[in-house]
Structure 1
Amino acid sequence: MKALILLTTLKKDSRSNTETLVEFLIPYLKAEKIETEIVKTVVHTVLPGTYTNMGEEDEWPEIYKKLVAADMIIFATPIWWGTHSSETQKVIERLDEVHDIVMSGKASPLADKVVGIVITGDSDGSQHIIGTISNFINGIGMFVPPYGTLSVQAEEQAKESNTPKEDLMKKYEMEYADTAQTMAKQLARFASLLS
């Protein structure tokens, strides 16, 4: 099984809390025999728009091919002002053409894919983000299984905290190992059922 992780951090040249949490999750996915590939959207030219291909310089069509080929997709986003990142919103908007396909009566190219959601922040907002992403992906034929999310709100992740990666990893291991393991098992279980 293969998971494509859409890492929608805003940090282009430096490591983000969201990237660290994704790295924490990956060994749990590997334990379930899930191969992972991370696409850090901010380092790609993903043009704004609502179609799969927005022109010559657009790198989204290649990312989209990877989404179609994957067994599961993981959205990984920070919280900014109570909602997902602008990079996440761009991904949602670029997948709007899939919704057009569904609305025309055809099958979704992403039908029955299992979705996981990873969220980091220093204040609450996870439930809103999970609801928004779940509503959208449901409309294009995908779904989040029970316990298919991993969200961490902690002061160590505040914008200017500069908490070392090692300290974040220790916190995640101490407080979120069970959640990460359960998420990985659920993604693997439901992807197997649908394959």
Structure 2
Amino acid sequence: MQYSAPAYPLMTSQRCSEIILSLGETAPSSYTDLKVLILNCTLNRTPLLSHTEGVISIARDVFASVGAACEILRPVDYDIAAGLGLDMSQTAEWTNDDWPEIQEKIDQCDILLLCTSVWLGEKSSVCNRVLERMYGYTHKVNARGQYHDYGKVGATVISGNEDGIKHCAMNILFSLSHIGYTIPPQADAGWVGEAGPGPSYLDPGSGGPENEFTNRNTTFLAWNCLHLARMLKDTGGYPAHGNVPSRWDAGCHQDLLNPEHRA
């Protein structure tokens, strides 16, 4: 079953909102042709409240301020099978798999924000499943013969009420880079409360939406994604020279299940 994403209002502080709007009005380029996909790997299905989506709203407002198309999607709302196949419903193990629908949206975007809450110091199980399914597409290539995620920009936003932002970001950003994404400066941002039990980002009195450090870093993240995506799109992505897998054997065999070993 799939759900419609909730229409979150502006959640940032008044000062942050004013800065975002001002920066949008003085943008150095046009970004209206860019497509942004934000995967919120919360454990909460729509319409339950997602604190991660509260932090995401800062980046969303930056993208909206320059007219970039932005969609927020919760993978937990979908039936995503485990495995590395393109469509696991075509296997004997699974009868249904919604992942191809999400992958199509990923393929169409210029910027992907892979976002998560922190659980036991790690990214969510939903985020792990998303990365595994994305990894299953790494044998596919673009029109130039490069791995098909070349030219896309990746970043992450993280929330929680315990430590773990940098640890989660290290894994997510490495994973995105490994499969072909380009990672801009300041590509991770987030908010966690005090160590131990306490309020989450959108809880009354948490101080999350007013946190200058989070507001600043998430704004930096969004703008650096826009700048990098603009440069990559204007230059047609990476030159297909020295990075085309078809020119290498590299132990690639069709009968191996690891997607990196496929031809």
TM-score for both structures, normalised by structure 2: 0.66
Q: What secondary structure sits across from 2:88 in the alignment?
A: coil
**Structure in which a larger fraction of residues adopt helix:** 1
Decide whether aligned partners of structure 1 residues 129 and 162 sit closer, same or farther in structure 2, where only a CA change above 3 A counts. closer
Match for residue 164 of structure 2? 125
Match for residue 185 of structure 1? 223
Q: Which of residues 41, 47, 52 in structure 1 aligns to 2:86?
A: 52
Cα offset for 1:71? Answer: 0.6
Q: What secondary structure sits across from 1:4 in the alignment?
A: strand
Q: Is contact 1:51-1:95 (8 Å) kept?
A: no
Q: Is contact 1:20-1:165 (8 Å) kept?
A: no
Could you report, residue by residue, the CA deviation over 1:50-89 in whole angstroms, capped at 9, with x for unpaired residues? 1221115211101101101001100110011111000000
Q: Which of residues 121, 129, 132 in structure 2 aligns to 1:90?
A: 129
What root-mean-square deviation, in Å, do the aligned CA atoms of Structure 1 and Structure 2 show?
2.2
Q: Is contact 2:58-2:219 (8 Å) kept?
A: no
For residues 222 and 65 of structure 2, the distance between their equivalents in structure 1, rounded to whole angstroms, comes to: 8
For residues 47 and 57 of structure 1, the distance between their equivalents in structure 2, rounded to whole angstroms, comes to: 7
Match for residue 208 of structure 2? 171
Q: Is contact 1:115-1:144 (8 Å) kept?
A: yes
Q: Is contact 2:131-2:175 (8 Å) kept?
A: yes
Question: Structure 1 counterpart of 2:175, which letter?
Answer: F
Could you report, residue by residue, the CA deviation over 1:10-34 in whole angstroms, capped at 9, with x for unpaired residues? 0115112112211233112212332
Match for residue 12 of structure 1? 45
Q: What secondary structure sits across from 2:209 in the alignment?
A: helix
Cα offset for 1:165? Answer: 5.2
Q: Is contact 1:2-1:72 (8 Å) kept?
A: yes
Q: Which has the larger radius of gyration?
A: 2
Percent identical: 26
Question: Structure 2 counterpart of 1:45, which letter?
Answer: D
Q: Is contact 2:152-2:180 (8 Å) kept?
A: yes
TM-score for both structures, normalised by structure 1: 0.87
Q: Which of residues 71, 76, 92 in structure 2 aligns to 1:42?
A: 76
After superposing the two structures, state which structure 1 stretch, 64-73 or 142-151, moved more.
142-151
Matched, 1:68 2:107: yes
For residues 225 and 178 of structure 2, the distance between their equivalents in structure 1, rounded to whole angstroms, comes to: 19
Match for residue 36 of structure 2? 3
Match for residue 135 of structure 1? 174
After superposing the two structures, state which structure 1 stretch, 129-138 or 24-33, moved more.
24-33
User: Structure 2: 5+ residue runs without aligned partners?
Assistant: 1-33, 90-94, 234-263
Match for residue 119 of structure 2? 80
Q: Is contact 1:134-1:144 (8 Å) kept?
A: yes
Could you report, residue by residue, the CA deviation over 1:139-161 in whole angstroms, capped at 9, with x for unpaired residues? 211022101221111149x7774
Higher RCO (C-alpha under 8 Å, 6+ residues apart): 1
